Amino acid sequence: MKKKLITLLAVAAMLTSSIAVFAEATPAPTNEPITDENINVPAQPDTDFEDQIQGDIMLISNNPDVSAPVFVPSYISNTVTVTDITDEMIATTLNTEDAENLENTINYVVSDKTIVLGFANGDVKKIEDIKKGDKITVYTNSYSPAPLILPPQYNADVIFVEDNLELDSIRSVDVDTYIADNEMLVNAANTLALNIDETTEIVDKEGKKVEAKDLDKKDLVVIYSISTRSIPAQTTPIKVVVLGENEVALANIEAAKNEPAATPAPTETPEVNYETVKSVSVNGNEITNVYTKNNTLMVPLRAITETLGFTVEWDGETKSIVLNGGIYSLKIGENAYIKGRMMPITLASEPELKEDDLTYVPVEFFSEVLEDNSIVLNY
């Protein structure tokens, strides 16, 4: 984790209505059915907090002719490991291998208002169920005040506890303010649209049933497994927990509708010269056995994916590899990288098994298939 993390955390703590996220203009969501051609089975979330905060303050539109709408997520989140827990505070670290480093530490204040759920199915849990060493994802209201202290300290509004590894790998979650739009519910971040049907379990914080018609303009906890590849992604959630109305978030959403849209300057994607790359770094670990092919950088698959927390299984008979129990798969010599039930993704090169008995894949595999951007190129 880079040293500027603490600064970014402080920025997150002071998110107010003046902060805006600019994204590419997108069409209104439709009731597009979820089919084999457009679904996306998400990997187990591992939110990079620094990337999220940077996304909250960056202009990311590349089209100078399109005015970008304003999207402000109502919650910020991070996936951390518990290092200590009391009745009032959960101490966590972003890096278990360097847990004593204050730059990796986030303290979360818990109260009787904190909601604790199981990641797999949203089962209601208690603070007492969280143990030292547990991996949790914590959501904090973006508009809640936070003291400017080190290590940073935030309120824990919603905590997800990893409780079923088999199901966790095919689950994704979101906590945000949702607004009705074209018979769907779209979150404030404009990243997820909900298509509620009779299979969706909808309850309030006490577990009482809630009608779908009462979800508009409410903060919702959403648990889902598959989504379309549209913008925003569409899903039929497994479970929805209604947190209530967020007056500050609603006021900012309404104000954003009346603000003049910004027109960011166009940017150019720099051309990468992979021939001069000497190594790559992942979470501080340097990997030197890299090479170039077909104008791309080939990197060792297992060394990087296991560093990122993925499980890797090799089938010697078929010369194929599966990650996270089958969510992702690839085969030596075939340029077809499979993610869930999506159509195979083609990259600059097929996977290769080299003389060192290691499988190599294009470096783009991690950003385009695994949707991870933590690899650093060393020249």
Task: Please tell me the predicted confidence (pLDDT) of residue 26.
Answer: 37
What pLDDT shows up at residue 262? 54
More confident residue, 218 or 16: 218
Better-scored residue on pLDDT, 45 or 166: 166
The CB density around residue 92, as the number of other CB atoms within 10 Å, is 25
pLDDT at residue 87 tops 50: yes
Residue 343: DSSP 8-state? P
Task: Judge residue 74's burial from the number of C-beta atoms within 10 Å of its C-beta, 0-12 exposed, 13-18 middle, 19 or more buried.
Answer: buried
**Residue 23: which pLDDT band, with cuts at 50, 70 and 90?**
very low
State the Cα–Cα distance between residues 29 and 180, nearest whole angstrom.
10
Distance CA 105, CA 245 (A): 31
Q: What pLDDT score does 236 carry?
A: 95
Average pLDDT over residues 309-315: 89
What's the CA angle centered on 103, arms 100 and 106, to 5 degrees? 85
Q: How far is CA 68 from CA 25, 29, 182, in A?
A: 5, 16, 20
pLDDT of residue 3: 37
Q: Terminus-to-terminus CA distance in the chain, angstroms?
A: 20
> Is the pLDDT at 63 greater than 90, yes or no?
no
Report which of 179, 204, 176, 211 is spatially closest to residue 74, judged by C-alpha positions. 176
State pLDDT tens for residues 203-232: 999 999 999 999 999 999 999 998 888 889
Rounded to the nearest integer, the mean pLDDT of the chain is 80
Confidence (pLDDT) at 334: 93
Q: What's CA 376's distance to the chain center, in Å?
A: 19
User: pTM of whole model > 0.75?
Assistant: no
The count of other CB atoms within 10 Å of the CB of residue 378 is 13
- Tell me what pLDDT residue 259 has: 63
* Per-residue pLDDT reduced to its tens digit, 227-270: 888 889 999 999 999 999 999 999 988 887 776 655 555 555 55
CA-to-CA dists, residue 319 to 200, 306, 332, 333, 366, angstroms = 39, 19, 6, 9, 20
Question: How would residue 317 be classed by pLDDT, with cut points 50, 70 and 90?
Answer: confident
What single string gives the DSSP state of each residue in 140-161?
EETTS-----SS-EEE-SEEEE
Give residue 103's pLDDT.
Answer: 85
- 220 - beta bridge partners? 176, 242
Instruction: Using a pLDDT cut of 90, give the percent of the chain over it.
Output: 48
Closest CA to 46 of 310, 244, 325: 310
Task: Give the tokens for residue 217.
Answer: 């303009």
Q: Read off the pLDDT of each residue in 343-359 and give the average, rounded to a whole number.
A: 91
Give counts: helices (H), strands (E), the chain: 6, 30
Structure tokens at 307: 């560093």
Task: Examine the pLDDT at 343 and tell me if it is beyond 50.
Answer: yes
Statement: residue 49 has pLDDT above 50? no
SS3 assignment, position 7 = helix
pLDDT, tens digit (0-9, with 9 covering 90-100), for 123-180: 999 999 999 999 999 999 998 887 878 889 999 999 999 888 778 778 899 999 999 9
Is residue 17 within 8 Å of residue 252, measured between CB atoms? yes
Query: What CA–CA distance (Å, rounded) separates 115 from 214?
Result: 20
Predicted pLDDT at 47: 42
pLDDT average, residue stretch 100-123: 92
pLDDT the model gives residue 263: 55
pLDDT at residue 107 above 80?
A: yes
Residues 6+ apart with CB under 8 A from 257: none
Among residues 62, 25, 49, the alpha carbon closest in space to that of 190 is found at: 25
Q: How many residues does the chain have?
A: 379
Contact 38, 77 (CB under 8 A): no
Helix (H) or strand (E) segment spanning residue 175: strand 172-181
Q: What are the backbone dihedrals phi and psi of residue 7, each rounded to the nearest 5 degrees, phi first? A: -60, -45
User: Which residue do the tokens 């003049």 mark?
Assistant: 260
pLDDT(31) > 60: no
